[in-house]
A = this chain, B = another copy of it.
Protein backbone atom coordinates (compact mmCIF):
# COMPACT_ATOMS: atom_id res chain seq x y z
CA UNK A 1 0.00 0.00 0.00
CA UNK A 2 1.38 3.37 -1.02
CA UNK A 3 2.40 5.76 1.73
CA UNK A 4 1.43 9.36 1.00
CA UNK A 5 2.38 12.60 2.75
CA UNK A 6 0.02 15.53 2.27
CA UNK A 7 1.60 18.95 2.52
CA UNK A 8 -1.17 21.43 3.18
CA UNK A 9 -4.41 21.49 5.17
CA UNK A 10 -6.53 23.84 3.07
CA UNK A 11 -9.37 23.36 0.62
CA UNK A 12 -7.71 20.93 -1.80
CA UNK A 13 -5.68 19.13 0.88
CA UNK A 14 -8.78 18.43 2.96
CA UNK A 15 -10.75 16.67 0.21
CA UNK A 16 -7.64 14.86 -1.08
CA UNK A 17 -6.75 13.61 2.40
CA UNK A 18 -10.25 12.24 2.92
CA UNK A 19 -10.31 10.62 -0.52
CA UNK A 20 -6.83 9.12 -0.31
CA UNK A 21 -7.16 7.85 3.25
CA UNK A 22 -9.75 5.34 2.07
CA UNK A 23 -7.40 3.79 -0.50
CA UNK A 24 -3.83 4.24 0.73
CA UNK A 25 -1.86 5.08 3.82
CA UNK A 26 -1.76 8.82 4.50
CA UNK A 27 1.38 8.77 6.63
CA UNK A 28 1.55 12.43 7.61
CA UNK A 29 -0.14 15.82 7.25
CA UNK A 30 1.96 18.98 7.19
CA UNK A 31 0.63 22.47 7.73
CA UNK A 32 2.33 25.74 8.69
CA UNK A 33 -0.23 25.78 11.51
CA UNK A 34 0.13 22.67 13.67
CA UNK A 35 -3.46 22.73 14.88
CA UNK A 36 -4.67 22.65 11.27
CA UNK A 37 -2.42 19.72 10.44
CA UNK A 38 -3.56 17.94 13.59
CA UNK A 39 -7.26 18.54 12.91
CA UNK A 40 -7.06 17.14 9.38
CA UNK A 41 -4.89 14.20 10.48
CA UNK A 42 -7.37 13.36 13.26
CA UNK A 43 -10.30 13.62 10.86
CA UNK A 44 -8.86 10.95 8.57
CA UNK A 45 -7.20 8.78 11.24
CA UNK A 46 -3.64 9.70 10.25
CA UNK A 47 -1.15 9.27 13.13
CA UNK A 48 1.31 12.03 12.29
CA UNK A 49 0.87 15.81 11.99
CA UNK A 50 3.65 18.37 11.78
CA UNK A 51 4.32 22.05 11.14
CA UNK A 52 8.02 21.49 10.49
CA UNK A 53 9.18 20.71 6.95
CA UNK A 54 12.38 19.25 8.44
CA UNK A 55 10.28 16.60 10.15
CA UNK A 56 8.57 15.27 7.03
CA UNK A 57 8.68 11.48 7.09
CA UNK A 58 11.57 10.64 4.76
CA UNK A 59 10.37 7.35 3.27
CA UNK A 60 6.88 7.91 1.85
CA UNK A 61 6.15 6.96 -1.77
CA UNK A 62 4.38 10.17 -2.72
CA UNK A 63 4.47 13.76 -1.43
CA UNK A 64 1.49 15.88 -2.46
CA UNK A 65 1.92 19.64 -2.27
CA UNK A 66 -1.63 20.89 -1.89
CA UNK A 67 -0.64 24.40 -0.86
CA UNK A 68 -1.40 27.80 -2.41
CA UNK A 69 0.18 28.43 -5.81
CA UNK A 70 2.69 30.88 -4.43
CA UNK A 71 3.86 28.54 -1.65
CA UNK A 72 4.78 25.58 -3.89
CA UNK A 73 8.28 26.72 -4.88
CA UNK A 74 9.18 27.53 -1.28
CA UNK A 75 8.30 24.04 -0.06
CA UNK A 76 10.22 22.40 -2.90
CA UNK A 77 13.39 24.34 -2.13
CA UNK A 78 13.07 23.88 1.64
CA UNK A 79 13.06 20.08 1.42
CA UNK A 80 15.80 18.01 -0.24
CA UNK A 81 14.92 15.33 -2.79
CA UNK A 82 14.46 11.84 -1.41
CA UNK A 83 13.75 10.04 -4.67
CA UNK A 84 10.01 9.78 -4.00
CA UNK A 85 7.30 11.03 -6.37
CA UNK A 86 6.63 14.73 -5.69
CA UNK A 87 3.39 16.24 -6.96
CA UNK A 88 1.68 19.62 -6.89
CA UNK A 89 -2.05 20.10 -7.43
CA UNK A 90 -2.17 23.49 -9.16
CA UNK A 91 -3.82 24.06 -12.51
CA UNK A 92 -1.91 27.21 -13.26
CA UNK A 93 1.62 26.45 -12.04
CA UNK A 94 3.98 24.64 -14.45
CA UNK A 95 5.48 21.26 -13.76
CA UNK A 96 8.91 22.90 -14.16
CA UNK A 97 8.77 24.18 -10.58
CA UNK A 98 10.27 20.78 -9.73
CA UNK A 99 12.88 20.74 -12.50
CA UNK A 100 16.45 20.26 -11.21
CA UNK A 101 15.13 19.89 -7.66
CA UNK A 102 13.40 16.53 -7.88
CA UNK A 103 14.13 13.39 -9.91
CA UNK A 104 10.51 12.16 -10.15
CA UNK A 105 7.68 14.65 -10.12
CA UNK A 106 4.34 15.63 -11.54
CA UNK A 107 1.12 17.62 -11.39
CA UNK A 108 -2.25 16.17 -10.39
CA UNK A 109 -4.90 18.84 -10.83
CA UNK A 110 -8.50 18.26 -9.76
CA UNK A 111 -11.04 20.26 -11.80
CA UNK A 112 -13.18 21.31 -8.90
CA UNK A 113 -13.63 24.24 -6.57
CA UNK A 114 -13.03 23.04 -3.03
CA UNK A 115 -13.83 24.55 0.32
CA UNK A 116 -12.37 23.59 3.66
CA UNK A 117 -15.81 23.31 5.28
CA UNK A 118 -17.09 20.69 2.85
CA UNK A 119 -15.37 17.41 2.07
CA UNK A 120 -15.97 17.01 -1.66
CA UNK A 121 -16.55 13.54 -3.12
CA UNK A 122 -13.82 13.04 -5.71
CA UNK A 123 -15.15 10.02 -7.65
CA UNK A 124 -16.68 12.16 -10.41
CA UNK A 125 -14.09 14.95 -10.33
CA UNK A 126 -11.81 14.97 -13.37
CA UNK A 127 -8.10 14.91 -12.49
CA UNK A 128 -5.45 16.05 -14.96
CA UNK A 129 -2.00 14.52 -14.67
CA UNK A 130 1.43 15.43 -16.02
CA UNK A 131 4.72 13.87 -14.95
CA UNK A 132 8.48 14.04 -15.42
CA UNK A 133 8.66 10.68 -17.22
CA UNK A 134 6.53 7.72 -18.28
CA UNK A 135 7.11 5.73 -15.11
CA UNK A 136 6.22 8.67 -12.87
CA UNK A 137 3.14 9.32 -15.03
CA UNK A 138 2.07 5.71 -14.57
CA UNK A 139 2.43 5.99 -10.78
CA UNK A 140 0.59 9.30 -10.74
CA UNK A 141 -2.30 8.07 -12.90
CA UNK A 142 -2.60 5.00 -10.65
CA UNK A 143 -2.73 7.24 -7.59
CA UNK A 144 -5.40 9.40 -9.23
CA UNK A 145 -7.44 6.35 -10.17
CA UNK A 146 -7.58 5.34 -6.51
CA UNK A 147 -9.82 8.33 -5.83
CA UNK A 148 -11.47 9.25 -9.15
CA UNK A 149 -13.01 7.58 -12.17
CA UNK A 150 -11.61 10.32 -14.41
CA UNK A 151 -7.85 10.74 -14.62
CA UNK A 152 -6.53 12.15 -17.89
CA UNK A 153 -3.06 13.18 -19.01
CA UNK A 154 -2.80 16.94 -19.61
CA UNK A 155 0.31 19.02 -20.13
CA UNK A 156 0.60 22.70 -19.23
CA UNK A 157 -0.97 23.81 -22.54
CA UNK A 158 -4.00 21.61 -21.97
CA UNK A 159 -4.25 22.74 -18.37
CA UNK A 160 -4.35 26.34 -19.63
CA UNK A 161 -7.24 25.48 -21.96
CA UNK A 162 -9.01 23.72 -19.12
CA UNK A 163 -8.51 26.81 -17.01
CA UNK A 164 -9.99 29.08 -19.69
CA UNK A 165 -12.91 26.66 -20.05
CA UNK A 166 -13.50 26.77 -16.31
CA UNK A 167 -13.51 30.57 -16.40
CA UNK A 168 -16.30 30.48 -18.99
CA UNK A 169 -18.14 27.60 -17.29
CA UNK A 170 -18.10 28.95 -13.78
CA UNK A 171 -16.78 32.49 -13.35
CA UNK A 172 -18.59 33.86 -16.39
CA UNK A 173 -21.79 31.82 -15.90
CA UNK A 174 -21.83 33.14 -12.34
CA UNK A 175 -21.43 36.71 -13.64
CA UNK A 176 -24.49 36.16 -15.85
CA UNK A 177 -26.37 35.39 -12.65
CA UNK A 178 -24.95 38.56 -11.06
CA UNK A 179 -26.28 40.60 -13.99
CA UNK A 180 -29.65 38.84 -13.76
CA UNK A 181 -29.77 39.63 -10.04
CA UNK A 182 -29.14 43.31 -10.81
CA UNK A 183 -31.95 43.41 -13.39
CA UNK A 184 -34.32 41.77 -10.91
CA UNK A 185 -33.23 44.01 -8.07
CA UNK A 186 -34.15 47.08 -10.15
CA UNK A 187 -37.65 45.62 -10.49
CA UNK A 188 -37.86 44.76 -6.78
CA UNK A 189 -37.88 41.05 -7.61
CA UNK A 190 -35.82 38.35 -5.87
CA UNK A 191 -33.07 36.39 -7.63
CA UNK A 192 -34.67 33.32 -6.01
CA UNK A 193 -37.17 33.36 -8.87
CA UNK A 194 -34.42 32.25 -11.27
CA UNK A 195 -33.26 29.21 -9.34
CA UNK A 196 -35.70 26.54 -10.57
CA UNK A 197 -34.94 27.68 -14.12
CA UNK A 198 -31.18 27.62 -13.52
CA UNK A 199 -31.41 24.11 -12.10
CA UNK A 200 -33.41 22.95 -15.12
CA UNK A 201 -30.82 24.51 -17.45
CA UNK A 202 -27.96 22.74 -15.66
CA UNK A 203 -29.84 19.43 -15.53
CA UNK A 204 -30.18 19.57 -19.33
CA UNK A 205 -26.39 19.27 -19.58
CA UNK A 206 -26.75 15.66 -18.47
CA UNK A 207 -28.72 14.88 -21.64
CA UNK A 208 -27.48 17.33 -24.27
CA UNK A 209 -24.37 19.27 -25.19
CA UNK A 210 -24.85 22.93 -24.26
CA UNK A 211 -24.91 23.98 -27.93
CA UNK A 212 -27.82 21.60 -28.47
CA UNK A 213 -29.88 22.77 -25.52
CA UNK A 214 -29.59 26.51 -26.25
CA UNK A 215 -32.94 28.34 -26.07
CA UNK A 216 -34.05 31.96 -26.00
CA UNK A 217 -34.58 34.93 -28.32
CA UNK A 218 -31.06 34.87 -29.78
CA UNK A 219 -31.20 31.34 -31.17
CA UNK A 220 -34.72 32.08 -32.51
CA UNK A 221 -33.36 35.30 -34.11
CA UNK A 222 -36.32 37.01 -32.44
CA UNK A 223 -35.22 40.56 -33.25
CA UNK A 224 -38.34 42.15 -31.77
CA UNK A 225 -37.80 40.65 -28.32
CA UNK A 226 -34.05 41.33 -28.55
CA UNK A 227 -34.70 45.03 -29.32
CA UNK A 228 -37.12 45.31 -26.39
CA UNK A 229 -34.49 43.81 -24.08
CA UNK A 230 -31.74 46.07 -25.38
CA UNK A 231 -33.91 49.11 -24.68
CA UNK A 232 -34.19 48.14 -21.00
CA UNK A 233 -30.53 47.58 -20.19
CA UNK A 234 -27.79 49.92 -19.00
CA UNK A 235 -24.67 50.30 -21.17
CA UNK A 236 -22.63 47.63 -19.43
CA UNK A 237 -25.34 44.99 -19.61
CA UNK A 238 -26.42 45.98 -23.13
CA UNK A 239 -22.87 45.58 -24.48
CA UNK A 240 -22.71 42.09 -22.97
CA UNK A 241 -26.25 41.28 -24.12
CA UNK A 242 -25.41 42.36 -27.69
CA UNK A 243 -22.15 40.46 -27.90
CA UNK A 244 -23.47 37.18 -26.50
CA UNK A 245 -26.66 37.45 -28.58
CA UNK A 246 -24.54 37.95 -31.70
CA UNK A 247 -22.31 35.02 -30.73
CA UNK A 248 -25.35 32.74 -30.34
CA UNK A 249 -26.86 33.97 -33.62
CA UNK A 250 -23.57 33.44 -35.48
CA UNK A 251 -23.44 29.84 -34.32
CA UNK A 252 -27.08 29.24 -35.26
CA UNK A 253 -27.85 30.86 -38.61
CA UNK A 254 -31.57 31.15 -39.27
CA UNK A 255 -31.35 28.74 -42.23
CA UNK A 256 -30.36 25.94 -39.87
CA UNK A 257 -33.49 26.43 -37.82
CA UNK A 258 -35.98 26.98 -40.63
CA UNK A 259 -37.96 23.83 -41.22
Whether A163 and B229, one on each chain, are in contact in the complex, defined by CB atoms closer than 8 angstroms, is yes
Interface presence of A113 (CB below 8 A): yes
Whether B183 and A161, one on each chain, are in contact in the complex, defined by CB atoms closer than 8 angstroms, is yes
- CB neighbours (8 Å) of A140 from chain B are none
Whether A232 and B164, one on each chain, are in contact in the complex, defined by CB atoms closer than 8 angstroms, is yes
Whether A175 and B209, one on each chain, are in contact in the complex, defined by CB atoms closer than 8 angstroms, is no
- The one of B126, B187, B192 in contact with A150, judged by C-beta atoms closer than 8 angstroms, is B192
- The one of B176, B215, B232, B240 in contact with A243, judged by C-beta atoms closer than 8 angstroms, is B240
Cα-based distance from A239 to B243 in the complex (angstroms): 8
Whether A201 and B187, one on each chain, are in contact in the complex, defined by CB atoms closer than 8 angstroms, is no
Secondary structure at the A interface, as helix, strand, loop or mixed, is helix
Q: Which of A116-159 contact B (CB under 8 A)?
A: 120, 124-126, 128, 150, 152, 154, 157-158
Which chain B residue shows the least CB distance to A247?
B236
Q: A218-B171, A243-B239 are in contact. Are A191 and B210 (CB under 8 A)?
A: yes
Interface presence of A186 (CB below 8 A): yes
Q: How far is the CB of A232 from chain B (nearest CB, A)?
A: 6
Q: A112-B200, A184-B162 are in contact. Are A189 and B154 (CB under 8 A)?
A: yes
Cα-based distance from A61 to B190 in the complex (angstroms): 31
Per assembly, the copies of the chain total 2
Is the interface on chain A under 10, 10 to 19, 20 to 34, or 35 or more residues? 35 or more
Interface presence of A58 (CB below 8 A): no
- CB neighbours (8 Å) of A202 from chain B are 198-199, 202
Whether B169 and A198, one on each chain, are in contact in the complex, defined by CB atoms closer than 8 angstroms, is yes
Contact mask for chain A residues 221-259; partner B; CB cutoff 8 A; 1 contact, 0 none: 000010011001100110111011001101100000000
Q: A189-B162, A196-B112 are in contact. Are A211 and B178 (CB under 8 A)?
A: yes
- CB neighbours (8 Å) of A158 from chain B are 187-189
Whether B232 and A161, one on each chain, are in contact in the complex, defined by CB atoms closer than 8 angstroms, is yes
Cα-based distance from A218 to B201 in the complex (angstroms): 25
Cα-based distance from A170 to B200 in the complex (angstroms): 9
Q: Which residues of A contact B (CB under 8 A)?
A: 92, 111-113, 120, 124-126, 128, 150, 152, 154, 157-158, 160-181, 183-184, 186-189, 191-202, 204-206, 209-211, 213-219, 225, 228-229, 232-233, 236-237, 239-241, 243-244, 247-248, 250-251
Interface pairs A-B: 7 shortest CB-CB: A171-B216, A177-B210, A126-B193, A168-B180, A161-B187, A165-B180, A173-B173
